[in-house]
């Protein structure tokens, strides 16, 4: 049975609005057409101050409220995979970016347009290039060029959480491990040392790795250490003298990047000999849960939200690093994000709208 659509100001159907946003292609580095659409609509709202920085867009109320809440979401998607056109069947919308995270953008856009007198000042942050390397992040660009636009008491990131609150986030790092050997003819392998064969013990330890599961502020994080890339080989008749392995470590926010790296090196250590190297190639620290902040706690308590740890890395960490408590809260299922069958269900979209609208229009349960 199809549920009746939840309509908001001016009879807007949020799932139909999300479908409209899905139909505007916005793969990473090509977000401009979608940002143009958002900018046109937001600039038509007299109660908003709108600033564009490159392909990033920030709309703010300036009412002098006691609290300021940032609502942030990325405008880019992964490349389409035969799912570039929105497909709406009953209460399910399919299409690239429907879950990650144009449903969240639809909530932000409609809130910005509809709620002209919020109980808390609102900052709506639409930023580019989240799905690529962190060095290109549009949110990072805003923090570098216009940090004043991002000042807030707390922030909600519209990442897909199925309407639950995902607190904090884990850190992530990649390390390149280079094992050395000695070349020889494959007819006389005893005269060399096979670097590829040296990977066997190390890969076995990674396969058997037992992860930590620390509980922080009631949220259980689950770490991981995985091999994600292997490069090796010289020729079909040559014993290889070098093998490169890339490992990815997801670490809980109770560890610093330095502590996490030391842990990985400890795991790798028994398999390293003279001439081998380990190089950290990328790292982003995590963020501790902050769901006890009045704005976030009110959201949780009024709506009886499930609270769990965010096991991936999100831009919650960028806000947290600058002293802004933040959490992930958005429609959509993260397990279908980036897949050809990505979809968004109306019930999660409506639930996120209802909870966020209530927070923005009523404010927190404190003076």
Convert the pLDDT of each residue in 61-73 to its tens digit: 999 999 999 999 9
pLDDT score recorded for residue 3: 52
Which of 130, 162, 342, 350 is labelled catalytic? 130
Confidence check: pLDDT of 264 > 60: yes
Q: Which of 334, 321, 330 minimizes the C-alpha distance to 140?
A: 321
Q: What is the CATH T-level fold of the domain 171-284, as seen in this structure?
A: Alpha-Beta Plaits (3.30.70)
Summarised one tens digit per residue, pLDDT across range 13-39 is 999 999 999 999 999 999 999 999 999
Do the bridges between strand 49-53 and strand 56-60 make them parallel or antiparallel, or are there none, so unpaired? antiparallel
pLDDT band at 8; cut points 50, 70, 90: confident
DSSP summary character for residue 78: P
Residue 56 tokens, joined: 């990033």
Can you give the pLDDT at residue 270? 97
Q: Kindly report the average pLDDT of the chain as a whole number.
A: 96
What one-character DSSP code corresponds to residue 244?
A: E
Per-residue DSSP letter, 241: S
Residue 133: what pLDDT?
85
pLDDT higher than 80, residue 7: no
C-alpha–C-alpha distance, residues 252 and 214, integer Å: 7
Q: Taking residues 117-129, what's their average pLDDT?
A: 98
| Backbone angles phi and psi of 179, in degrees to 5 | -100, 135
Q: pLDDT value at position 323?
A: 96
Please tell me if the domain spanning 7-168+287-362 has the same topology as the one spanning 171-284: no
Which of 135, 174, 178 is CA-nearest to residue 282? 174
Is the pLDDT at 2 greater than 70? The verdict is no
pLDDT in tens, 199-226: 999 999 999 999 999 999 999 999 999 9
Given a contact cutoff of 8 angstroms between Cβ atoms, the answer to whether 106 and 18 are in contact is: yes
Does position 1 have pLDDT exceeding 50, yes or no?
no
pLDDT at 74 over 90: yes
Query: What is the arithmetic mean of pLDDT over 264-293?
Result: 96
| 83-97: average pLDDT | 97
Pair 60, 124: CB distance under 8 Å? yes
Write down the pLDDT at residue 10: 65
Q: Which of 76, 162, 261, 315 is catalytic?
A: 76
When pLDDT is averaged across residues 295-317 and rounded to a whole number, the result is: 97
Give, as one character, the DSSP assignment of residue 136: G
Q: What is the pLDDT of residues 311-348, one digit of tens each?
A: 999 999 999 999 999 999 999 999 999 999 999 999 99
Is the CATH code 3.40.630.10 the one for domain 7-168+287-362?
yes
Q: Which two tokens stand for residue 81?
A: 């995979």
Which sequence spans correspond to the domains of the chain? 7-168+287-362, 171-284
130 is catalytic: yes
Has residue 367 got a pLDDT over 90? Answer: no
Q: Does the active-site annotation cover 114?
A: no
41-64: buried (b, 16+ CB within 10 Å) or exposed (e) per residue? bbeebeebebebbebbbbbbbeee
Q: Convert 153-182 to b/e letters by CB count within 10 Å (16 or more is b).
A: bbbbbbbbbbbbbbbbbbbbbbbbbbbbbe
């Amino acid at each position: 049975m199809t549920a009746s659509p939840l309509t908001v100001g001016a009879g807007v159907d949020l799932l139909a609005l999300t479908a409209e946003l899905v139909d505007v292609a916005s793969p990473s580095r090509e977000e401009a057409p979608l940002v143009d659409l958002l900018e046109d609509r937001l600039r038509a709202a007299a109660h908003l101050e709108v600033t564009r920085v490159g392909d990033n867009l920030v709309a703010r109320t300036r009412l002098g409220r006691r609290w300021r809440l940032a609502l942030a979401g990325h405008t880019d998607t992964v490349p389409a995979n035969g799912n570039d056109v929105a497909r709406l069947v009953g209460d399910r919308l399919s299409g690239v970016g429907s879950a990650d995270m144009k449903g969240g953008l639809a909530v932000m856009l409609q809130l910005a347009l509809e709620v002209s007198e919020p109980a808390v000042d609102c900052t709506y942050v639409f930023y580019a290039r989240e799905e690529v390397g962190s060095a290109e992040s549009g949110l990072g660009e805003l923090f570098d060029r216009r940090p004043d636009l991002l000042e807030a008491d707390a922030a909600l990131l519209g990442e897909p959480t199925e309407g639950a609150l995902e607190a904090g986030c884990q850190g992530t790092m990649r390390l390149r491990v280079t094992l050395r050997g000695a070349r020889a003819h494959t007819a006389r392998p005893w005269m060399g040392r096979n670097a590829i064969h040296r990977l066997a013990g190390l890969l076995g330890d990674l396969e058997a790795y037992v992860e930590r599961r620390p509980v922080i502020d009631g949220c259980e994080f689950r770490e991981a250490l995985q091999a994600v890339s292997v490069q090796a080989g010289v020729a079909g008749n040559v014993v290889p003298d070098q093998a490169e392995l890339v490992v990815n470590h997801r670490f809980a926010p109770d560890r610093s990047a330095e502590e996490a790296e030391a842990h990985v090196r400890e795991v790798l250590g028994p398999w390293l000999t003279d001439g081998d190297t380990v190089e950290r190639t990328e790292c982003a620290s995590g963020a501790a849960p902050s769901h006890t902040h009045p704005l976030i706690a009110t959201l949780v308590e009024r709506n009886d939200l499930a609270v769990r740890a965010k096991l991936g890395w999100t831009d919650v960490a960028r806000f947290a690093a600058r002293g802004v408590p933040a959490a992930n809260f958005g429609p959509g299922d993260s397990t279908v994000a980036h897949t050809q069958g990505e979809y968004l269900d109306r019930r999660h979209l409506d639930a996120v709208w209802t909870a966020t609208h209530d927070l923005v229009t009523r404010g927190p349960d404190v003076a």
